[in-house]
Amino acid sequence: MRRPLLLLAATGGLTLAPSLCRAQAVPNFLRPSGLPPSNGYSHVVEVPSGNRLVIVSGQVPLDSQGNLVGGADFSAQAQQVFLNLRQALLAAGATFQDVVKLTYYVVDASKLPALRQVRDQFIDPRNPPASTLVEVRHLFRPDLLLEVEAIAALR
């Protein structure tokens, strides 16, 4: 019997109760008791077997010509990143409704509220994907303020 793939927001051991391995048609976004409250992300996303995973490389705020969008404006850069993610997802037949995991690399973690404000225009904030945010010193270009990668699960 194939078990569902679990994507965890944090590392650590996990023991599955048989009831958690039930058959389902869509990903199940979980906020288990015993873990700290989650604000804007799900601790666990249970992806049922038979789903096709789509892995999207980190997207940055460059337009289709490779030009920076947004200058030093973090929110404008974030908007372009999510537009690029949407294009990448569409190329694989996916949408943001299929996204189960987002990983953020930002040069300033204090911009998280602005990032969430932009992100919430694209995802369902009632069932947010599992997420990881990492603050980095810089990205591959000094004018980039963030990079975001995604994993989607399609039925």
Distance CA 18, CA 146 (A): 39
Q: What is the pLDDT of residue 2?
A: 47
Q: What CATH number does the domain located at 52-154 have?
A: 3.30.1330.40
Instruction: Indicate if the alpha-carbon torsion angle 52, 78, 118, 8 is positive or negative.
Output: positive
Residues 5-31: tens digit of each pLDDT: 555 444 444 444 444 444 567 899 888
Using 50, 70 and 90 to split pLDDT, how confident is the model at 110? very high
Question: Percent helix, strand, coil in the chain (nearest 5)?
Answer: 25, 30, 50
141 pLDDT more than 90: yes
The pTM (predicted TM-score) of the whole model is 0.81
Residues 34-58: tens digit of each pLDDT: 999 888 899 998 988 989 999 999 9
Shortest CA distance to 130 belongs to which of 48, 59, 31, 53? 31
